[in-house]
Structure formats: structure tokens, C-alpha cells
Amino acid sequence: ETGVTQSPTHLIKTRGQQVTLRCSSQSGHNTVSWYQQALGQGPQFIFQYYREEENGRGNFPPRFSGLQFPNYSSELNVNALELDDSALYLCASSLGGQGFIRTYGYTFGSGTRLTVV
Amino acid sequence: AQKITQTQPGMFVQEKEAVTLDCTYDTSDPSYGLFWYKQPSSGEMIFLIYQGSYDQQNATEGRYSLNFQKARKSANLVISASQLGDSAMYFCAMREGLKAGGYQKVTFGTGTKLQVIP
């Protein structure tokens, strides 16, 4: 059983640019959540995708958007990058519904470290 | 109000000793779950232990145990026989009741950095 893989591992972008981060979910998982973790902070929920639709969103502006594909992999897109977007972006996959409880929640990837200069 | 509060930014523990990492939570939902995750410098969040709000006994997983005091809304992590490899950030997190449509937001605390001293 493969875990969650994220790409790229590191990325440097210029303010105002756009970025796409990718996540392959764990085999058998149908839900993907994205988190932003600023240095020295806990992860902050961005949004969640379940069966290819966004079904929950945290306090992030619309320039943060995403997709989930039929194989349950996912992308996080950020437009008009700002310096404060510099962070570790974590993807977590899980089963929906009661499966979330039985499997104790998320399986996380190692993250993409984004630096905006 | 903070959903998850971890009041210890950093902790030191001697190798082979036990250590307790504090976590308090705030929810009005009767059905919730509490998690502890370990995050080494590599960045990956590693699941350690889970406690459901209706679980009668405190959760244990090897050297990890969760001291769940529901009335006080606390869920402290106890690590016994600390090892050098335990040095990492530790996050307490909470899942509140399953939302309509399968929305499963998990809220994290700010973390505690544990350093194990040889």
C-alpha cells in the first residue's frame, strides 16, 4: 500500500506568480485535504475534496483553488502569490464518512515547501 | 476561542524518562476525536494515537498513551522511556462531528517542540 506523495518537495516562486502543487492520495482513500503550515505554526486547513468536489473550506481567499481527479489525486493552485504564502503545504488523504474514524483520520504526505521571494 | 491549546512551546526530557505534553480543547459537539501527530524535521505528520469522545478507556499505542480527562477537556500525551528519535514537534488535533457531505475538518494546535537529551 503506497502512502501519500507530494510534488515538488521544494519550490521557489516570485511574488505575483502562480503555482500548482500535486498530491497522490493513499491507495483506497477518496478524500484529500490541504493544509498550510507557516514556520513555527500548526497546520491550517485550506480545503477538502471528496469525490472530485470541494466540500469544505477554511479561511483562505479564492486565489487558493484546487482539483481532485477521478483517481483521487489532487492539485492545489495558488494565484497571485504573496510573500505570506511562503509555507509548508501538506496534503492529507483519508476515507470519507465513518471510514475516517475507523482509520484514525489522515495520512499525510511530506509536504511541499514553497518560498515566495 | 482556540479550539486546541498547547501551552508548552518547548520541552526537554532526559533519555529513558517519561514526558507529558499538554493539550486542552474546546468543543460543544458531543462526538469528537482527538489525535496526536509527530512532525520530525522532514515535515511529514506521523499519526501517533487517537481518542474518541465516547471511548471509555484511555488510548495506548506502544510507548504512547493519552491521558483523556473529558470533564476538564484535556488530552495529554504521555511518552514513556523517551528515545533520541522522539525529538520532534508534536501536534494535538481535534476532529469534530462528521458534517453533512462528509466534511472532515481537523483542527491543529500550535505544537510542542520536544528535545530528548542523551
Q: What is the pLDDT of residues B21-57, one digit of tens each?
A: 999 999 988 888 899 999 999 888 999 999 988 888 9
Q: What is the pLDDT of residues A13-33, one digit of tens each?
A: 999 999 999 999 988 888 899
**Three cell numbers written together for A92:** 492529507
The reported pLDDT for the residue numbered B30 is: 86
pLDDT at B1 over 70: no
- CA within 13 Å, CB half, B111: 20
Please say if the pLDDT value at position B87 is more than 60. yes
Given this model, what pLDDT does residue B31 score? Answer: 83
Q: What is the pLDDT of residue B98?
A: 59
Q: Which among B37, B45, B105 is the top mutation candidate for probing chain A, defined by the most A β-carbons within 10 Å of its own β-carbon?
A: B45
Contacts with A92 from chain B: Cβ below 8 Å: 45
pLDDT at residue A27, rounded to an integer: 86
CB-based contact B102:A50 (threshold 8 Å): yes
Using 50 as the pLDDT threshold, list the residues of chain A that sit under it: none
> Rg (Cα) of chain A, in Å, rounded?
14
**Residues above pLDDT 90, as percent of chain B:** 74
All three cell numbers of B62, joined, read 506502544
CA–CA distance, A82 with A84 (Å, rounded to integer): 5
> HSE on the CB side for B90, CA within 13 Å?
30
- A98 chain-B contacts, CB cut-off 8 A: 98
Q: Of B104, B108, B112, which to mutate for an interface test with A (greatest number of A Cβ within 10 Å)?
A: B104
B91 contacts A42? CB cut-off 8 A: yes
Of B43, B44, B108, the CB nearest to A42: B108
Residues B1, B25: Cα–Cα separation, whole Å: 10
pLDDT of residue A100: 59
The answer to whether A23 and A74 are in contact (CB under 8 A) is yes
